[in-house]
A and B are shown apart, each in its own frame.
Chain A
């Protein structure tokens, strides 16, 4: 009998054991190593690092293995681990202008100092299943060249000379940290960017796409997209100066957007900005579009009532760990609440029926 069911504990233990077995799959098939995931599923690893807000490819690979390839579950594992880590301090801002670029393209200029570098991109592949991969994954060695030594300045810098693009004011304030302080609205751009870079790729993509289709359109060109490694420096209090503590791979996207000008500012181009861990092109472009859409107020543009312009709406729903948790919690028992709803609906129906009978009786009498 249901009421007498005890042993939720045993059910949970058994479910976990079954889950572990399912994760491993057919024992006749070789087990996947985390090294294989890190090297051969690197874009999944990148997504887990970006949305998990923790740059550690080995841990991300482990999380993907443990989560059976469910990336949101993997991101959750990384987030839960991340919160337990002590906070030593904050790094210096990374200098993306000094990035060692694997890929660097601009859609606004045919060529520019630093050149157009396609890098390892899916862009011009024909999406045909490669059945050779099913047999063996050996690849011929790709051509190499000596790395270019000259600097690769940001494309938007070239627009600055003529004052054609807005200047980002240098802010001396320490940006907030949404993992340490509760989010408050209005959040401001620094917190918005933090929220977007760890936000769900699908959600940010959908929001960005909606601006392209007219819900808060902002005419974005990809001024520049660059992917590569940058050194991370941190000031060590005992030393009194910053030292390099490692390097991270980043994708940075700057969009150049039309701006008709306002009462105080002449017409010029404005920017949207995306910066994401790893090779995460789709995410960083989408992030830049959403960032630009959210800037309507500071630029004196109209609020068109578009979802992507609504800071509270976007930031409150971008986090997939919050979203999936709350969505999936409705499978937990709710029978106490449901019982009170049952009683209410029964009562309302009883009253409605009594009223109908009363009216019918009166009609018959008349």
Chain B
């Protein structure tokens, strides 16, 4: 594939994206506008993440791509193939082996380290978007730190449902300044947003990049009497027995039988490799 530049994008474009990334890292949680390019995959399918990864990758990197926590979901396969073809970088499914991890909707269960970069695909970067559809307004609200509307929304949830009715893309406050959308990760993953690795968020269609430098303070919005709670299905993994991982629910038959399995396929496999097993682990193996 010599027809395209390393990692597909031309160097000018990569430089433009890197500048946006650096600005994002300098102002954690702030959405930096960037001139998103049309990519050979559709908007909404990870073009922001792909552009950020392309600007981040070097030939020595090892890339891991996950979607819903899994390496083998079709779009993860497609994006991994894209970089294998256009960048020729090594790829892996092992979280610890990867230097760059592109993800959609999950943070890996294994703790990430300082020499890793986690790239998120973001559909709607604006946490205030569904409260105020206008970009001109929401930018003002961020500038003035005018986040009352968000607290009112959370309060109304509690008064109507007895609970905050947001279970994914749960808003966070970064270093006590910007309210940020962590992308549609389940709120179970929110506590993991404070980590050693660099986190980069790319929204291609919406032309925004934002970032969290290592060890940035990230607080999920809540109230003193309604503290934030990371939730998951109250089961252990049926394959590896893990009780601390986020689970997918799988319908087994039309009699209502289901099983719960780790959404992070690498985490589940590595646990089974060292002998852990769950309720259905034997049959599945």
Show the binding face of A for B, using Cβ within 8 Å: 1-9, 11-12, 76, 79-80, 82-84, 86, 179-186, 312, 316, 321-322, 324-329, 332-337, 339-344, 347-348, 351
CB distance B73 to A333 under 8 Å?
yes
**Interface SS of chain B:** loop
B74 within 8 A of A: yes
- The answer to the question of B68 belonging to the interface, with a C-beta cut-off of 8 Å to chain A, is yes
A9 — which chain B residues lie within 8 A by C-beta? 72, 77, 81
- A80 in contact with B247 (CB, 8 Å): no
Q: Which of B34, B77, B104, B135 contacts A8 (CB 8 A)?
A: B77
Inside 8 A of B185's CB, which chain A residues have their CB? 336
A327–B105 alpha-carbon span in the complex (Å): 17
A1 to B163, CA, bound (A): 36
Q: How far is the CA of A326 from the CA of B47 in the complex (A)?
A: 11
Q: Given A76-B42, A344-B163, A348-B163 in contact, is the A337-B184 Cβ separation under 8 Å? A: yes
Which of B54-62, B108-116, B210-218, B231-239 forms part of the interface with chain A? B231-239
On whether the beta carbons of A344 and B165 are closer than 8 Å, the reply is yes
Given the known A-B contacts A340-B168, A340-B188, A341-B168, are A1 and B4 also in contact in the complex, defined by CB atoms under 8 Å? no
**CB closest residue in chain A, given B208:** A182
Task: Pick from B42, B161, B165 the residue with the most CB of A within 10 Å.
Answer: B42
Across the interface, A339 reaches (CB within 8 A) one of B74, B169, B239, B248, namely: B248
Evaluate contact between A337 and B168: CB separation under 8 angstroms: yes
Q: A6, A185, A316, A343: which contacts B167 (Cβ < 8 A)?
A: A343
Interface residues of B in 123-157 (CB under 8 A from A): 123, 134-136
Instruction: Indicate if the CB atoms of B249 and A342 lie closer than 8 Å.
Output: yes
- Pick the 9 closest A-B CB pairs, nearest first: A325-B43, A329-B44, A325-B42, A340-B167, A182-B33, A326-B44, A340-B186, A182-B207, A325-B44
Having A2-B250, A348-B163, one finds 7 other A-B pairs with CB under 8 Å, namely A8-B72, A11-B74, A324-B43, A326-B123, A335-B248, A336-B248, A339-B248
Q: Shortest distance in angstroms between B6's beta carbon and chain A's nearest beta carbon?
A: 13
Contacts of B33 in A (CB 8 A): 182, 184
A11-B74, A336-B186 known; A80-B39 Cβ under 8 A:
yes
Tell me the chain B residues, 153-196 only, with Cβ under 8 Å from chain A. 161-163, 165, 167-169, 184-188
CB distance from A174 to the nearest CB of B (A): 16
15 contacts between A and B (CB under 8 A): A3-B239, A8-B72, A8-B77, A80-B39, A83-B37, A180-B35, A182-B34, A325-B43, A335-B68, A336-B186, A336-B248, A337-B167, A339-B247, A348-B161, A348-B162
Tell me the bound Cα distance from A86 to B123 in angstroms. 28
Which chain A positions have C-beta within 8 A of B45? Answer: 325, 329, 332
Chain B residues lying within 8 Å of A334, measured Cβ to Cβ, are 68, 105, 184
Roughly how many angstroms separate A6 CA and B67 CA in the complex, as a whole number?
Answer: 14
Q: Which B residues touch A86, using CB under 8 A?
A: 10
A182-B34, A328-B44, A329-B44 given; A340·B187 CB < 8 A: yes
Cβ distance B136 to chain A, nearest Cβ, rounded Å: 5
**B39 to A336, Cβ gap below 8 A?**
no
Known: A333-B73, A336-B168, A343-B232. A326 touches B105 (CB 8 A): no
Residues of B within 8 A of A (CB): 4, 10, 33-40, 42-45, 47, 67-69, 72-78, 81, 104-106, 123, 134-136, 161-163, 165, 167-169, 184-188, 205, 207, 231-233, 239, 246-250, 259, 261, 263, 284
Contact B261 A3 (CB under 8 A): yes
B74 neighbours in A (Cβ, 8 Å)? 8, 11-12, 333
Known A3-B284, A84-B4, A185-B135; contact A321-B43, beta-carbon cutoff 8 A: yes
User: Smallest distance from the beta carbon of B71 to chain A beta carbons, Å?
Assistant: 9
- Residues on A with beta carbons closer than 8 Å to the beta carbon of B187: 340
Select which of A7, A312, A321 is within 8 A of B134 by beta carbon.
A312
A322 touches B68 (CB 8 A): no
Give the distance in Å from the alpha carbon of A84 to the alpha carbon of B8 in the complex: 8
Residues of A within 8 A of B47 (CB): 325
Give Cα distance in the complex from A146 to B167, angstroms: 72
Find the residue from A12, A180, A343, A347 having the highest chain B CB count within 10 A: A343
Within the complex, the shortest CB–CB distance from A250 to chain B, in Å, comes to 23
**What CA separation (Å) do A183 and B135 show in the bound complex?**
11
The answer to whether A336 and B68 have CB atoms under 8 Å apart is yes
Q: How far is the CB of B32 from chain A (nearest CB, A)?
A: 9
Q: Is the CB of A3 within 8 A of B44?
A: no
Decide: B167 and A1 in contact? CB cutoff 8 A.
no
A329 with B163: in contact, given A339-B186, A340-B231, A342-B249 (CB under 8 Å)?
no
Is B186 a contact of A332 with CB atoms below 8 Å?
A: no
Pairwise interchain contact A185-B162, C-beta atoms closer than 8 A:
no
**Could you say which of B10, B38, B165, B250 has the most chain A C-beta atoms within 10 Å of its C-beta?**
B38
Report how far A322 CA is from B47 CA in the complex, Å: 11
Cβ of B39 and Cβ of A332 under 8 Å apart?
A: no
- How distant is the Cα of A12 from the Cα of B184 in the complex, in angstroms? 25
Give chain B nearest CB distance to A313 CB in angstroms.
8
Question: Which residues does chain A contribute within 8 Å of B186, judged by CB atoms?
Answer: 336-337, 339-340
Give every chain B residue within 8 A of A182 (Cβ-Cβ): 33-36, 207
Q: A3-B250, A325-B43 are in contact. Are A336 and B205 (CB under 8 A)?
A: no
Bound CA span A183–B206, Å: 9
Q: Are the CB atoms of B246 and A1 closer together than 8 Å? A: no
Nearest residue (CB) in A for B74 is: A8
In the complex, which residues of chain A have a beta carbon less than 8 angstroms from the beta carbon of B263? 335-336, 339
Give Cα distance in the complex from A341 to B165, angstroms. Answer: 9
